Amino acid sequence: MPPDTTRSHATLTDVAKAAGVSVGTASKALNGRFDVKRETRERVLRAADELNFRPNALARGLLAGRTQSVGVITNDLDGRFAPKIVVGVENALGADQSSVLLSITRGDPELEAHYIRSFQERRVDGILIVGNIPESRPPARGLDRTPVVYVFSPSSSPEDASVIADNVAAGRLAAEHLIEQGKRHIYYLGGPPEEVAARDRGQGTREQILAAGLSVSPLQILYGTWAEQWGWDAVGGILASGAPVDGLVCGDDQIARGAIDRLLSEGVSIPDRAAVIGFDNWWILAQNSRHPFSSVDMELEAIGGRAARILTTGAPAPGVVAHPGHVVARWSTIGDAPR
Amino acid sequence: MPPDTTRSHATLTDVAKAAGVSVGTASKALNGRFDVKRETRERVLRAADELNFRPNALARGLLAGRTQSVGVITNDLDGRFAPKIVVGVENALGADQSSVLLSITRGDPELEAHYIRSFQERRVDGILIVGNIPESRPPARGLDRTPVVYVFSPSSSPEDASVIADNVAAGRLAAEHLIEQGKRHIYYLGGPPEEVAARDRGQGTREQILAAGLSVSPLQILYGTWAEQWGWDAVGGILASGAPVDGLVCGDDQIARGAIDRLLSEGVSIPDRAAVIGFDNWWILAQNSRHPFSSVDMELEAIGGRAARILTTGAPAPGVVAHPGHVVARWSTIGDAPR
DNA sequence: TTGAAAGCGCTAACAC
DNA sequence: GTGTTAGCGCTTTCAA
């Protein structure tokens, strides 16, 4: 008789029957327990293979009380940050044989609550709440006792666990890199002053310049928008002012690109007369442009992985873990590689 | 007595007990069945609310035979295509109260097989296999009878269901748009000739030019790479040749950007003397550049949504569904909006 | 070493 | 209307 094709999957009972043993024995055999005769085990394994047996994770989870799965709540998935974070999460959990349940809220608190509920019904072992801006957010509601870790956007409650990017440290790294290249007159072209990421990166830049014994006037710390046009305009202004400038820390890669385009169009040679570094290390801009440029990689994958590991390793400890990035040096600060 | 906090979640039995009814009645009440007295229902609902009851989806799924969940297998999640596709999938399924199980294979067939197995054990209702290049791929192995739809990279087997981007149609749309703007001497600057996406978009461009009664020589259909530099170089070559040119269909947004930069640097006015259109409508390039440009949006979210709906609506019909995009017109073809 | 049986939490069929 | 019961597929005692 051919295998039963009416039901979608063979059950353990089917396997046991085919192998001529009881379900209990079949279970032990498949789970590699030692109290099964070798010959029996082999018979069971063969039967399972022939029937294409897939142990029902629902039944297992129901019994075990845990599901080897975590829920991930994101604001968006096509922005700049969430995709890489989720990749890091998935990598970390995949190694743990855990599954990722993904949801997208578009910032809607109602939807967030809905997904939290849905994840709880599915008995996920934990929940990651991934933000898309580096600003703190109120803790999610309706959380029961499911463990939660906030990622990128920290929770405003000190009782919660969060993993975020350390923008102050990143700013320091950027400035340090320029100073190491011998630059002495460094400007910071930041994003909007009301955004904490823009301010933090600026603060780090400033701190590091001062730490190197160089001076920095308020005129060298500028705020604008996250756009190319701002980088372009700002460089125009600085050059027109006649003030000395040999290094630019740009608040993000878009600003950096605008700055570089302007420098080149004004005939300023890069990196000799002026070096430029951005943030985020977005490959489409920093790497794939006609003029590749240096950038501080915020290591979003590592941030995601770290959050996932914190979530799945006992109860997450309250507090914020800030993750620094690292500098990826390219033409705009170190010139073309020697051949 | 305070509610039991030792176990993680209240069960239906707890709720029934608290409401002074049997589990059967509690179940009916919570599921809105009509054969329950109103007063009883309200008592049950109140008890459920007080105990923060979350019906165990594992138990439900075990009984029902379906889990309201689908597995999504992607190659990557930080590339150009997968994120938007997954967003479309999630939106479509969320409306259906279904969950998305996400996995990333990095193109490793072993990992793909592993995730398929894992999804089958979790009894997902279907699987979406999302590619990251528009080339066909061999069907996945070990699939049992779980329904599958391939997305973006179609399956090479005609028995499978696939939803892909229609690059030929997209090429036609791009050329049509330039022709509508009165352009008569159109070039195509494509990606690598060995890639079907590059060829398809070129073919569509060519077809539409001919359909409009214009001529197109092989010299006007050029292939290179997907990079800005190629757009920059190609435009240089065309201008140097002195051949007439007033429209450029660029194989992707990076090429378009390079082409635009070169045209501007050579003093060619856009869009009057030459109009430019790209593909993919990648906001960081097409929209956020200093010079925004037109692009054919491949509607990846719609593709993902369509695939999800096909998957969850009965058995997917074999064959390939090709999804055309639409033109997003910006400065590079229609100039600045009148004020 | 193996088998029988209880039970995870829920729904649906059948009594009352 | 409401209660009782039989499983869904699995793991885990406890006997044999």
Q: Is the peptide bond before B134 cis (omega within 30 degrees of 0)?
A: no
pLDDT band (50, 70, 90) for residue A3 = very low
Q: Give tens-digit pLDDT for B308-319.
A: 999 999 899 999
Output Rg (C-alpha) for chain A, integer angstroms: 27
* Interface residue A289 vs chain B (CB under 8 A): yes
CA-to-CA distance for B30 and A110, rounded, in angstroms? 21
Beta carbons of A102 and B69 less than 8 angstroms apart: no
Beta carbons of B331 and B293 less than 8 angstroms apart: yes
Q: Which residues touch strand C (CB under 7 A)?
A: A 20-25, 28, 35-37, 39-41, 59, 62-63, 65; B 7, 9, 11-13, 23-24, 27-28, 30-31, 53, 55-56, 59-60, 62-64
Residue A4 reports pLDDT greater than 60 = no
B288 neighbourhood in chain A, CB within 8 Å? 227-228, 254
Q: Give tens-digit pLDDT for A214-266.
A: 999 999 999 999 999 999 999 999 999 999 999 999 999 999 999 999 999 99
Q: What is the DSSP letter of B284?
A: I
Given an 8 Å threshold on Cβ–Cβ distance, is A77 in contact with B65?
A: no
Does residue A5 or residue A288 have the better pLDDT? A288
Please name the residue that has the structure tokens 């933090």: A200
Q: Is A179 helix (H, G, I), strand (E, B) or coil?
A: helix
CA-to-CA distance for B190 and B9, rounded, in angstroms? 58
Residue spans of alpha helices (H) in B54-213: 57-64, 82-94, 109-121, 167-180, 196-211
Closest CA to B129 of B109, B113, B148: B148
Please name the residue that has the structure tokens 């008789």: A1
CA-to-CA distance for A266 and A239, rounded, in angstroms? 9
Give the max Cα distance, chain B: 90
Q: Give tens-digit pLDDT for A127-155.
A: 999 999 999 999 999 898 899 999 999 99
Please name the residue that has the structure tokens 């089958």: B120
Residue A109 reports pLDDT greater than 70 = yes
Q: Give tens-digit pLDDT for A271-305.
A: 999 999 999 999 999 999 999 999 999 999 999 99
CA of B69 to C1' of C5 (A): 33
Closest CA to B188 of B202, B200, B174: B202
Q: CB-side exposure of A198: number of CA atoms within 13 Å?
A: 15
CA-to-CA distance for B288 and A285, rounded, in angstroms? 12
For residue A304, what are the CA distances in angstroms to A88, A234, A300?
A: 5, 34, 6
CA-to-CA distance for A334 and B2, rounded, in angstroms? 66
Determine phi and psi for A210, rounding to 5 degrees: -65, -40
Residue from the list B52, B100, B285 with its beta carbon closest to the beta carbon of A102: B100
Q: Give tens-digit pLDDT for A175-199.
A: 999 999 999 999 999 999 999 999 9
Closest CA to B257 of A78, A152, A24, A289: A289
User: What is the share, in percent, of chain A residues with pLDDT greater than 90?
Assistant: 92
Given an 8 Å threshold on Cβ–Cβ distance, is B90 in contact with A77?
A: yes
Collect the ranges in chain B with pLDDT lower than 70: 1-7, 337-339
CA-to-CA distance for A214 and A84, rounded, in angstroms? 36
Q: Are strands A126-130 and A69-74 parallel, antiparallel or unpaired?
A: parallel
Neighbouring CB atoms inside 10 A of A121's CB total 18
Query: Counting beta carbons within 10 angstroms of the beta carbon of residue B335, is it exposed (0 to 12), middle (13 to 18) or buried (19 or more)?
Result: middle
For residue A173, what are the CA distances in angstroms to A199, A252, A321, B19?
A: 15, 14, 18, 61
Continuous segment of H or E residues that includes residue B320: strand B319-323
Residue A86 reports pLDDT greater than 60 = yes
* Interface residue A63 vs chain B (CB under 8 A): no
CA of A313 to C1' of D14 (A): 34
Beta carbons of B223 and A285 less than 8 angstroms apart: no
For residue A54, what are the CA distances in angstroms to A19, A48, B116, B270?
A: 16, 8, 11, 61
Closest CA to A104 of B280, B77, B143: B77
Q: CB-side exposure of A48: number of CA atoms within 13 Å?
A: 20
Residue spans of alpha helices (H) in B31-129: 38-50, 57-64, 82-94, 109-121
pTM of the model: 0.95
pLDDT of residue A336: 87
Q: Which nucleotides of D are covered by protein (CB under 7 A)?
A: 1-5, 7-13
CA-to-CA distance for B162 and B69, rounded, in angstroms? 19
Task: Name, in order, each residue with C-beta under 8 angstroms of B151's C-beta and a sequence gap of 6 or more.
Answer: B85, B89, B128, B129, B130, B131, B162, B163, B164, B303, B304, B307
Q: Give tens-digit pLDDT for A25-71.
A: 999 999 988 889 999 999 999 999 999 999 999 999 999 999 999 99
Given an 8 Å threshold on Cβ–Cβ distance, is B90 in contact with A83?
A: no
Q: What is the DSSP letter of A308?
A: H
